Structure 1
Amino acid sequence: MRHNFLKRILGGILTGCMLVTATVHAGTTQKDIDKAKDQITDLKKQKEDAKDQVDSLTNEKQGLESDLSGLNGQLNTITSDMNQLEQQAAQKEDEINTAAEDLKRSEERSAEQYEDMKVRIQYIYENGNQSVWDMLIHASSIAEFLNQAEYTSAINQYDRNMLTAYQELTEQIKEQKKELEKQKEELTVLQQEKQKEQEKVNSLIEDTQNKIQESGEKIEDAQSDVESIDAKIEKMIEYEKQLEIQKAKEDAARLAAIKKQEQENRSNVTYAPAQSDAYLLAAIIQCEAWGEPYDGKLAVGSVIMNRVRSSYFPNTVSGVIYQGGQFSPVASGRLAYRLEQGVASDCMSAAQAVLGGTTTTNCLYFRVNNGIIEGTVIGNHVFY
């Protein structure tokens, strides 16, 4: 009897060592999984930031393209205005040339008229007396003489009128030419101003085009970052999957050892809940099973209570929940946040029911169902 008793004790000690080793491995693997999850979360945040950068740069590029379109419209308007001014300047130049020719002809005719008039006046003065006697002697009548005298006077008056008219026309043409030259100068000033506007807009267009090109290059770089992060996320997801497989193997090995050595009947083990157990249990249920059906919440609570009743886990609710490497919300800080913010009523109801003796599963483990682990599926979790 003594020999058998010692044998059982030694067997228990060896089993305990196996379980401790399995626990260390499981804890290490869970930490790796949690670390991988954190890295994936961080990468997803980086991806969102990179996508935001792509969107921001795209909006900036679209804004620059809109500005460029507006600048091209301004340039077209300026070019059209410059063409019109050029046509007006050419037309004004033609008008000035025409006025100059008219002025030259008017001055020439005025000079000719003046010379003709001088000749006639000189002739009259030099031959005035003889001409009067000749007209009187040769006239057949007084009426004829008077008609000839009136004719001579009319010629003199005509010369004066024509000279005056040519002089006035010359002055008018001079004023017209002067006004045309003034208008041409104004057109030249407008052309110069439009030229400056054109140069300014061309400079803005070139600057905007350079910015658009830079934005395009930045978008390509940012998009490349998104793709690179995507590739990293895929690798990390695959790595996490491998860790999950490894964790499942370790959990299965540990569970097999527990089942092999555990001879107690958990249903006969009683547990007196501490005053804070209900709130703590409700908080971890909400962290692990928020959004799951009520049965899923009860199942999570049952797993925790099964561990409390097992001799291979801590024998308190807080001990099980805070055991190293077992529940990721503990390591990530989500549990502490939930304890601070409060728990949902259905999670509290599930916790109270489980603490009151309701057990919906005999499993010791659960995780998100990824199709790798065989067990009882409730909602999005598999219990095993």
Structure 2
Amino acid sequence: MKKRLLPTISKRIVCMLLALVVGSSTCIAYAVSEETQNQIDQTKKEKEDAEKAKSDAEKAKNDLNNAKAETQSYLKNLEKQTGSLNEQISVLNNDIKDKEAEVENKQAEVEAAQAELDKQYEDMKKRIQYMYENGQDSMAASVTLYLTAALSGGMSEMLNQMEFSADVMSYDRQRLQDFQESKAALEEQYAQLSDEKEALDLMKQETEKKKQQVASQQKAAGSKLSSYNDMIAQKEGEISDMNELVKEKTQLLNELIAKAAAEEKAARIKAAQEAAADMEGVTIIAGDPKISRGEISLSDYEMLLLATMIYCEAGNQGSEGQLAVGYVIMNRVRSALYPNSLESVLRQSRQFEPAGSGRFDLVLQAEQDDDIPNIVTESCWNAAQAVVNGTSNVGDCLFFRTWAPVPSLITNLEAGGVPYYIIKDHIFYYYWTSYSKE
């Protein structure tokens, strides 16, 4: 797994820069003009700001869509509640109608019972009034009736007449009491039915009130939903604007990177021409490379440094060219003429062009970014592993460069008897030779 050891920069910018520099080699660090570099840095910042603004707008839009979905779900629940309340109201209306009919029927029964009770009461009043109005005559008649019954039929007949009269009076009283009890029961039933109807009416009122509340909530949710739609449309407009701005800044950045590459190329050609001119009239003097033959162990991070520099210097030079560059680097690490650590050798001033121009760090950073696919090729990793303990394919060479722009270099090397190797675009030779004017 890659480890992040350097600050993160834009993936696209890294990849574009890397595409421009793979395979270029020289020992001089060429820089673009300050103006172009400032424009690149400014454009890069503006592009990153636009991408951040776009990301923020997309996040805000996503949050709004989530809130909108929740509101839509809430509205659906309210619609279900409204349907349920309408059903309850319909059922209550039917129940109230049925209860009203029961109350009316019970009221009619109470009224009929009252009428019967009134009739019985009037009949009793009439009998009592009749007995009162007849007074002694009625009493004498009764006594005469009882005596006659006793004389003609005996004592038993007289008792029968008296018992009959008592039964009539008792019957009237019992019947009146029964009607009063029946009326009381009907009145109690009527009161209970009235209470039930009142409860149904109250329940209907509460249900209607709840329905109004749900309608109010639906209206508020509908208004909120409309507001979310407006805000989402606004964010979509912002995202579209940021897309256009990112596209514009990307195009400008590509143009500036191409301009920087052209400036570097021009500087490289100029430096090569100056180096070629400086090679005229020099003598090569041999010296000791002071290379130790002991084993060298590199950490995982140092292996990453080595493979990355091989890629930057010889990524397009084939396996032989990559091995040769790797051996030159390791020869310097082993030599007492150079710093005693791999990273110090790679970053020594004015030696390896990718380190001086910053392109080495760009590739190194990309290799440690989990979000960027591997850039350093497998062949460069294999070369790095091979040169740590293997036999050099360029002997004790400590120096290399592109040879085509400096043909006089070959002439001078041959004249001085210095071995050299040409592998594709590079010439490898012993850096322990020095050059002095004749």
User: How far off is 1:226 after superposition?
Assistant: 1.5
TM-score by length of structure 1 reads 0.61
TM-score by length of structure 2 reads 0.54
| Structure 2 gap segments, 5+ residues each | 1-29, 330-347, 370-375, 395-399, 406-423, 425-438
CA distance in 2, matches of 1:53, 1:164: 84
User: How far off is 1:169 after superposition?
Assistant: 1.9
CA distance in 1, matches of 2:262, 2:46: 23
Aligned to 1:49: 56
Aligned to 2:72: 65
Contact 1:278 1:348 (8 Å CA) reproduced: no
Aligned to 2:185: 172
User: How far off is 1:67 after superposition?
Assistant: 2.1
Task: Report how many aligned residue pairs link the two structures.
Answer: 321
CA distance in 1, matches of 2:98, 2:317: 92
Asked if 1:95 is matched to 2:102, the reply is yes
Question: 1:163 pairs with 158, 168, 176, which one?
Answer: 176
User: How far off is 1:115 after superposition?
Assistant: 0.6
Asked if 1:253 is matched to 2:277, the reply is no
Mark the CA change 1:223 to 1:283 in structure 2 (over 3 Å): closer, same or farther: farther
Question: 2:227 pairs with 202, 214, 220, which one?
Answer: 214
In proportion to residue count, which structure has more helix?
1
Contact 1:282 1:351 (8 Å CA) reproduced: yes
1:105-254 counterparts in 2 under 5 A? Answer: 105-124=112-131, 126=134, 128=138, 159-254=172-267
Contact 2:113 2:183 (8 Å CA) reproduced: yes
Task: Please give the per-residue CA displacement for 1:273-300, whole angstroms capped at 9, x wherever unaligned.
Answer: 9x999779538549979xx99959x77x
Asked if 1:282 is matched to 2:306, the reply is yes
Mark the CA change 1:173 to 1:46 in structure 2 (over 3 Å): closer, same or farther: same
Asked if 1:315 is matched to 2:322, the reply is no
Contact 2:114 2:183 (8 Å CA) reproduced: yes
Counterpart amino acid of residue 81 in structure 2: Q
Contact 1:33 1:244 (8 Å CA) reproduced: yes
SS of match in other structure, 1:315: coil
**RCO greater where, 1 or 2, for CA within 8 Å and sep 6 or more?**
2
Aligned to 1:341: none
Contact 2:310 2:325 (8 Å CA) reproduced: no
Task: Please give the per-residue CA displacement for 1:303-341, whole angstroms capped at 9, x wherever unaligned.
Answer: 9x99xxxxxx96323xx3454xx3367589948989xxx
Mark the CA change 1:79 to 1:278 in structure 2 (over 3 Å): closer, same or farther: closer
Contact 2:110 2:187 (8 Å CA) reproduced: yes
Question: Percent identity, aligned pairs only?
Answer: 22
Which of 151-160 and 63-72 deviates more? Answer: 151-160
User: How far off is 1:232 after superposition?
Assistant: 0.8
User: How far off is 1:213 after superposition?
Assistant: 2.6
User: How far off is 1:352 after superposition?
Assistant: 7.8
Mark the CA change 1:163 to 1:183 in structure 2 (over 3 Å): closer, same or farther: same
CA distance in 2, matches of 1:272, 1:84: 106
User: How far off is 1:110 after superposition?
Assistant: 1.0
| Structure 1 gap segments, 5+ residues each | 1-22, 307-312, 339-343, 365-375, 377-384
Aligned to 1:327: 358
Mark the CA change 1:111 to 1:237 in structure 2 (over 3 Å): closer, same or farther: same
SS of match in other structure, 2:350: coil
